[in-house]
Structure 1
Amino acid sequence: MSSTTTTTPATMSDRDREDMIRANMPLVGHLVREMLGRVPAHVNRDDLTSAGLAALVTAARAFDVERGIPFHRFAAARIRGALLDELRGLDWASRSVRSRARQTDVARQHLTATLGRTPTLAELAAHLGLPVAEISSVEDDVQRAVVLSLHGFTTGSADDMVTEPTMGPEDLLVHRERIGYLHNAIDALPERLRTVITRYFLNDEPMSVIAAELDVTESRISQLRAEALMLLKDGLNTHLDPDQVTGASRPDGCVARRRATYFAQIGTKGTLTSRLARTSPQGLPVAA
């Protein structure tokens, strides 16, 4: 039934509400597709659809035409809230993931300072006393959490990744500045890391192709990608949310100095005016 119906809640029949639900089921599909475009591919469409349909039914039961709000707008707010609740339940960046991320990062920094290069997975595993397979699993979990964090520049919440489609003027300016900082952070990366990030995320090139052209293994590309994402995260947070920056294990070491130099370079890559003029890099979405 159209949202312009003159039936009041007191007289609206169950059949009327059922018709209203059926007429607005495509709205659920639209909002689910919109959200799937902003979250990683492993998010299950059916789970989101079920949550959205349940919210549509609840909205139909609670709808009051006397408020003067069209039903599709009323239902859309309820559906988006239910989808966010569903995303929160996935717990992508749990405490254990964050803890393992810190342990792995500290170990990598220590070995990098000792060896003068980025350690291999086998060296990381030996240093941590863990099987190589478990280190690989940690790397995958950490990378997923870091990729998700780029949506809101913090590790974790679904609210950071999926926001309401409309923003006020102040929120819009902050959002555009973040996009600009992301561009600056990518531009300031060391050449090899910038190449991996640009070609893998922005140009959507397979890891095997990047590895072949750089004459390294796919495992090495995966390591460089994880290293670059950690740098991006901490680089962005240095300027946007300093409390989220991962502390260096050796503040006076060469690794800490290189990180500090990189963080400083991000700030010199642009001005407020130039950052506000940038658009979101394809492949590395920012909360929109």
Structure 2
Amino acid sequence: MTEQAGDPRADELITSHMPLVGHIVRETMGRVPSHVSRDDLTSAGLTALVQAAQAYDAERGVPFERYAATRIRGAILDELRSVDWASRSVRRRARDLEETRTRLAGALGRTPTVAEVATASGLSVEEVTANDEDVSRAQVLSLQGSTTASLDELVPTRAPSPEQLLEHQERLTYLMEAITELPERLRTVVQDYFFAERPMADIAADLGVTDSRISQMRAEALVLLRDALNSALDPALVKPSSKPNGCASRRREAYFAAVAARHADGSRRAPATPALDAAG
């Protein structure tokens, strides 16, 4: 049976396989030029994961992880091929700027600022920034070995309708907004564990807590993310709080409201102060 939008089984497939996106993106980043945007690849991979969860049919006998991994790799490859190559002058300037950054980093003992790179290069800050943006859009023409088989060879798929694509994109947008609105420490756990694939012990050391506390925070974050998506897209799936007037319930409702407000705003602003107090 194919999973349907709002099906809690599909939401569980999404949240439990987010590490798979991080793994494939990290694997891909090791094969492409350094200027390729990790965020763009992650976004493409998450979109594919959402679509895979919605379209997955267990009766076909294909494990979900294998099915999703193939779609994620295909989406990332499509993303790499969809971006226009930067001009030769842009790439030449990018090489010069990279050399300048390396030289400054060695002299300063830290990563130089854009202003410092601009001054050392005889360029304006705007020119350096524009070149970086141009390079980040450069297309990777060849990605040999990034996939071992075509999608059709592994599993039969059905192309989603325009309505389904819009629905999938909306769910992905809500997911990313919900991650952004998590309390700072929960957001750090989600980003470091699922996307950066950092060991739990390292995250615990950074946050000054135990490994078991990180595990608890991870579980808490996943529940919040699931409920935030359901609150926005299918409120009937949100379980009512046992203490609707309690502090925890009010913080949760404030979090849902913050996610909804961010979605309504639609702007790509910097992460706002989370609606919930930092956990941990």
TM-score normalized with structure 2 length: 0.41
Task: State the structure with more CA Rg.
Answer: 1
TM-score normalized with structure 1 length: 0.40
